[in-house]
Amino acid sequence: MNLPLNRRLFMVGAAAIAVSGPAFANTTHIVEMLNRHPDNKKLRNVFSPSVLKVQPGDTITFMPTDKGHNSVSIDGMMPKGASGWKGKNSKEVSVTLDLPGIYGYKCQPHYGLGMVGVIIVEGEGMGGNLDAAKDVKQRGKAKAAFVDHWDQIKAQGLLTPPAEQ
């Protein structure tokens, strides 16, 4: 190739942006499945973190750090058009979420003990299924655990759209 120097520099720069630009890079997030909360040993059977905000197209990997847990999406706690997931007991499972919104999930063996979590996929209308997700009937300690999660989401402003640039 025998391009003028300024043209070649432009191409190098464009390639660097395409590789390093954060808008193009999808991330994998780890959620550990644990017998005890890492910061509070009195809390048993937890996802860590139990509330997580990600970008569309990001992957969440549920790690069986402790055995005897799984991750399963909860019917009615996903944005319209999203498909759920069902991890096997004590097995790693990964899910890639594309649609903005709120995703609720549980560990089947410990659902009644409050082992549940929430993922928020950022984007327009991400809070659109909040009321529907809150309306899903929960049992046992899952009820209080979700209330804690909704409180945390509100307190941290996780459903607030980013400020206009």
Q: How far is the CB of 84 from Cu ion (least distance, A)?
A: 17
Under a CB-based contact definition with an 8 Å cutoff, are residues 67 and 88 in contact? no
Quick one: 7 or 42, whose CB is closer to Cu ion? 42
Mark the segment that binds Cu ion (CB under 5 A) among 11-19, 41-49, 86-94, 153-161. Answer: 41-49
- If one asks whether residue 77 binds Cu ion (CB under 5 A), the answer comes out as no
Per CB under 5 A, 106 contacts Cu ion: no
Phi, psi of 5 (to 5 degrees): -55, -45
* Cα dihedral 163, 99, 53, 21 sign: negative
User: How many residues sit close enough to Cu ion to count as binding (CB under 5 A)?
Assistant: 5
- CB of residue 66 to Cu ion, shortest distance in Å: 8
Residue 79: partners with Cβ closer than 8 Å, 6 or more residues away = 99, 100, 101, 102, 103, 121, 125, 128, 129
CA distance 142 to 122: 24
- CB-closest chain residue to Cu ion: 107
Cβ-contact 26, 57 below 8 angstroms: yes
Indicate the residue type of 16: A
Binding window for Cu ion (CB under 5 A); candidates: 10-18, 24-32, 114-122, 154-162: 114-122
- Is residue 110 within the footprint of Cu ion (CB under 5 A)? yes
Closest distance of CB 90 from Cu ion, Å = 10
Residues forming contacts to Cu ion in the complex (CB under 5 A) are 45, 69, 107, 110, 115
